[in-house]
Chain A
Amino acid sequence: MSTLLALTVAGLVTGCIYALTASGLVLTYTTSGIFNFAHGAIGMVAAFLDWQLIAWGMPTLAAFLLTVLVLAPLMGVAVERIMIRRLGNASLEVTLTVTVGLLLLLIALADTVWDTRTARRVQPFFVGQQVTVGGVVISYHQLVVIAAAIVVPLALWAFLRLARTGVAMRAVVDDRELAALTGASPSTVGMLGWAMGAGLAGLAGVLLVSQVELNAITLTLLVINGYAAAVMGRLSNLPLTIAGGLLLGVLQSLAIGYVTISWLNQVQTSIPMVFLFLALLIAPPTRLRVGQLAPLLAPKVPGARQTYRAAAAFLVAAGVLTLVLPSGRVDSFTHGMAIAIILLSLVPMVGYGSMVSLCQLTFAGIGCVAMAKTGGSPLGLLAAVLAPAAVGLLIALPTMRLRGLYLSLATLAFGYAMDDNFFSNGSVMTQTLGLPVPRPLGIDNPRAYLFFVIAAFTACAIGILALRRSTLGRRLVALGDSPAGCATIGMGIRSTKLGIFALSAGLAGLGGALMGGQEGVVGYTDFPLLLSLTLLLMAVVWGVRTISGVLLAALFFELIPLLNGHLGAVGNSVLPLLVGLGAVSLGKNQNGIVGTVLQRTNGLRKLPALPHPRQHPDHDDATDREEVLTGAQG
Chain B
Amino acid sequence: MTAPTLTGALELHHVCAGYGKVAVLHDIDLVVPDHGILALLGPNGAGKSTLLRVATGRTQPTSGRVVLRGKDVTGRSPERLARTGLCSVPEGRAVFPNLSVTDNLRMWTYRPGLNRKDVEEQAFARFPRLKERRRQLAGRLSGGEQQMLAMSRALTANPDLLLLDEISMGLAPVVAAELFGLVRQIADDGTPVLLVEQFARTALEIADSVSVMSQGRIRVTGSPDEVRDRVLETYLHAGASQNPASSPSM
Chains A and B come from one and the same complex: yes
For B19, the chain A residues whose CB sits under 8 A away are 629, 632-633
For B111, the chain A residues whose CB sits under 8 A away are 182-183
Interface check B209, CB cutoff 8 A: no
Nearest CB of chain B from residue A282's CB, rounded to whole Å:
23
Cα A178 to Cα B22 with chains together (Å): 24
Interface check A171, CB cutoff 8 A: yes
The residues of A with any CB-CB pair to B shorter than 8 Å are 164, 167-168, 170-171, 173-175, 177-186, 626, 629-630, 632-634
Cα A156 to Cα B139 with chains together (Å): 24
Q: What are the 10 closest A-B residue pairs judged by CB atoms, nearest first?
A: A634-B49, A183-B110, A183-B82, A180-B78, A174-B96, A183-B83, A185-B79, A633-B24, A180-B79, A171-B96
Given contacts A170-B96, A183-B110, A633-B22, 10 further A-B contacts (CB under 8 A): A164-B106, A171-B96, A177-B90, A178-B96, A180-B78, A181-B56, A181-B88, A181-B90, A183-B79, A634-B49
Task: List which B47-100 residues lie within 8 A (CB) of chain A.
Answer: 47-50, 53, 56, 58, 77-79, 82-83, 88, 90-91, 94-99
Cα A486 to Cα B56 with chains together (Å): 36
Nearest CB of chain A from residue B77's CB, rounded to whole Å:
7
Q: Which residue of A lies closest to B45 (CB)?
A: A633
The A interface is mostly helix, strand or loop, or mixed, namely helix
Let me know if B48 and A634 touch, CB within 8 A: yes
For A632, the chain B residues whose CB sits under 8 A away are 19, 22
For A174, the chain B residues whose CB sits under 8 A away are 96-99
Q: Which residue of B lies closest to A183 (CB)?
A: B110
Cα A185 to Cα B81 with chains together (Å): 11
Task: List which B106-164 residues lie within 8 A (CB) of chain A.
Answer: 106-111, 153
Cα A175 to Cα B109 with chains together (Å): 17
Let me know if B21 and A626 touch, CB within 8 A: yes
Interface check B20, CB cutoff 8 A: yes
Q: Please report the total number of B residues contacting A with Cβ < 8 Å.
A: 36
- The contact of A177 among B18, B58, B99, B109, by CB within 8 Å, is B58
Q: Which residue of B lies closest to A236 (CB)?
A: B98
Interface check B103, CB cutoff 8 A: yes
The B interface is mostly helix, strand or loop, or mixed, namely mixed
Cα A175 to Cα B111 with chains together (Å): 18
Let me know if B103 and A182 touch, CB within 8 A: no
Q: A180-B78, A182-B110, A183-B83 are in contact. Are A633 and B49 (CB under 8 A)?
A: yes
Q: Which residue of B lies closest to A173 (CB)?
A: B98
Nearest CB of chain A from residue B142's CB, rounded to whole Å:
19
Let me know if B20 and A629 touch, CB within 8 A: yes
- The contact of B82 among A164, A180, A629, by CB within 8 Å, is A180
Can you name 7 A-B residue pairings with CB atoms under 8 Å?
Answer: A179-B79, A179-B96, A180-B58, A183-B110, A629-B19, A633-B19, A633-B45
Nearest CB of chain A from residue B167's CB, rounded to whole Å:
14
Cα A175 to Cα B91 with chains together (Å): 13
Nearest CB of chain B from residue A191's CB, rounded to whole Å:
13
Let me know if A171 and B107 touch, CB within 8 A: yes
Let me know if B22 and A177 touch, CB within 8 A: no
- The contact of B107 among A173, A182, A626, A630, by CB within 8 Å, is A182
Cα A633 to Cα B22 with chains together (Å): 9
Best-surrounded residue of A174, A178, A181, A186 (most CB of chain B within 10 A):
A181
Nearest CB of chain B from residue A493's CB, rounded to whole Å:
29
Nearest CB of chain A from residue B150's CB, rounded to whole Å:
9
For A175, the chain B residues whose CB sits under 8 A away are 96-97
- The contact of B153 among A164, A171, A182, A186, by CB within 8 Å, is A182
Let me know if A167 and B82 touch, CB within 8 A: no
Cα A164 to Cα B58 with chains together (Å): 23
Cα A183 to Cα B84 with chains together (Å): 9
Let me know if A164 and B109 touch, CB within 8 A: yes
For B91, the chain A residues whose CB sits under 8 A away are 634
Cα A185 to Cα B79 with chains together (Å): 6
Nearest CB of chain B from residue A335's CB, rounded to whole Å:
42
Cα A107 to Cα B45 with chains together (Å): 50
Q: A167-B103, A633-B50 are in contact. Are A184 and B22 (CB under 8 A)?
A: no
- The contact of B79 among A173, A186, A630, by CB within 8 Å, is A186
For B106, the chain A residues whose CB sits under 8 A away are 164, 167
Cα A168 to Cα B83 with chains together (Å): 14
For B108, the chain A residues whose CB sits under 8 A away are 182
- The contact of B99 among A167, A181, A183, A185, by CB within 8 Å, is A167
For A180, the chain B residues whose CB sits under 8 A away are 58, 77-79, 82
Cα A175 to Cα B94 with chains together (Å): 9
Cα A175 to Cα B99 with chains together (Å): 11
Nearest CB of chain B from residue A159's CB, rounded to whole Å:
13
Best-surrounded residue of A167, A170, A171, A183 (most CB of chain B within 10 A):
A183
Best-surrounded residue of A168, A186, A626 (most CB of chain B within 10 A):
A168
Cα A174 to Cα B93 with chains together (Å): 12
Nearest CB of chain B from residue A3's CB, rounded to whole Å:
45
Q: A167-B103, A633-B47, A633-B50 are in contact. Are A178 and B94 (CB under 8 A)?
A: yes
For B153, the chain A residues whose CB sits under 8 A away are 182
Let me know if A184 and B96 touch, CB within 8 A: no
Nearest CB of chain B from residue A183's CB, rounded to whole Å:
3
For B48, the chain A residues whose CB sits under 8 A away are 634
Nearest CB of chain B from residue A31's CB, rounded to whole Å:
13
Nearest CB of chain A from residue B93's CB, rounded to whole Å:
9
- The contact of B90 among A164, A178, A626, A630, by CB within 8 Å, is A178
For A181, the chain B residues whose CB sits under 8 A away are 56, 58, 78-79, 82, 88, 90, 94
For B97, the chain A residues whose CB sits under 8 A away are 174-175
Task: List which B38-52 residues lie within 8 A (CB) of chain A.
Answer: 45, 47-50
Cα A183 to Cα B78 with chains together (Å): 7
Q: Which residue of B lies closest to A295 (CB)?
A: B20
Cα A174 to Cα B96 with chains together (Å): 6
Cα A634 to Cα B20 with chains together (Å): 14
Q: Which residue of A lies closest to B56 (CB)?
A: A181
For A629, the chain B residues whose CB sits under 8 A away are 19-22
Nearest CB of chain A from residue B192's CB, rounded to whole Å:
17
For A630, the chain B residues whose CB sits under 8 A away are 22
Best-surrounded residue of A170, A171, A180, A633 (most CB of chain B within 10 A):
A633
Cα A170 to Cα B99 with chains together (Å): 7
For B94, the chain A residues whose CB sits under 8 A away are 178, 181
Cα A22 to Cα B21 with chains together (Å): 41
